């Protein structure tokens, strides 16, 4: 019997995006917010009015990175520093890997079912908004 795949749904994504948008408004920064499913494919995306266009791919790729490596992107950034075990990882996967904060995997009952990515503010703000999106589940 084939294994079933647990993944985020579109309704989950909408709820998470709404939470991220609300938090971004509290910071007063227009954000790009992305959600990928368990396979790392884009499930939901929001670009708030005025959000930097250069951050679109960053948000999407932070979510992608968090999912394919099943780790927060800021953790990968630490491991990717010179003389660390993952040095150069950002060059993998056709350059889509982002190694600074704002990408978090989404866990449900011990299984990773997707990931979120945010981009527009400081790294700390990006992480906080990503955490808010996770909490919306």
Q: Which residues pair with 55 in a beta bridge?
A: none
Q: Is the pLDDT of residue 3 over 90?
A: no
11 contacts 39 by C-beta, under 8 angstroms: no
Full residue range of the structural domain in which residue 81 is found: 10-136
Q: Is the pLDDT of residue 4 over 80?
A: no
Residue appearing with tokens 């350059």: 95
CATH code assigned at 53: 3.30.450.150
Residue 23 — very low, low, confident or very high, per pLDDT cuts 50/70/90? very high
Buried b (16+ CB within 10 A) or exposed e, 121-133: beeebbbbbbbbb
Q: Is the pLDDT of residue 17 over 70?
A: yes
Q: Which residues pair with 34 in a beta bridge?
A: 45, 117
Count of domains observed in the chain: 1
Q: Is the pLDDT of residue 34 over 60?
A: yes
Tens-place pLDDT, residues 89-112:
999 999 999 999 999 999 999 999
Q: Is the pLDDT of residue 83 over 70?
A: yes
Q: Decide if 5 is inside a domain.
A: no
What's the mean per-residue pLDDT of the chain? Answer: 96
103 contacts 55 by C-beta, under 8 angstroms: no
CA-based max dimension of the chain: 50
Q: Decide if 70 is inside a domain.
A: yes
Q: Decide if 2 is inside a domain.
A: no
């Amino acid at each position: 019997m084939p294994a079933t795949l647990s993944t985020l749904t579109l309704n989950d994504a909408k709820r998470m995006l709404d939470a991220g948008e609300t938090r971004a408004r509290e910071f007063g920064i227009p954000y790009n917010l992305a959600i990928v499913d368990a396979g790392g494919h884009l499930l939901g995306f929001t670009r708030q009015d005025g959000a930097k266009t250069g951050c679109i791919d960053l948000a999407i790729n932070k979510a992608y990175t968090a999912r394919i490596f099943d780790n927060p992107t800021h953790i990968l950034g630490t491991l990717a520093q010179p003389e660390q075990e993952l040095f150069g990882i950002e060059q993998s996967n056709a350059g889509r890997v982002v190694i600074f904060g704002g990408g978090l995997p989404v866990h449900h009952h011990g299984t990773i079912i997707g990931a979120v990515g945010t981009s527009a503010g400081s790294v700390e703000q990006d992480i906080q908004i990503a955490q808010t999106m996770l909490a919306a589940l």
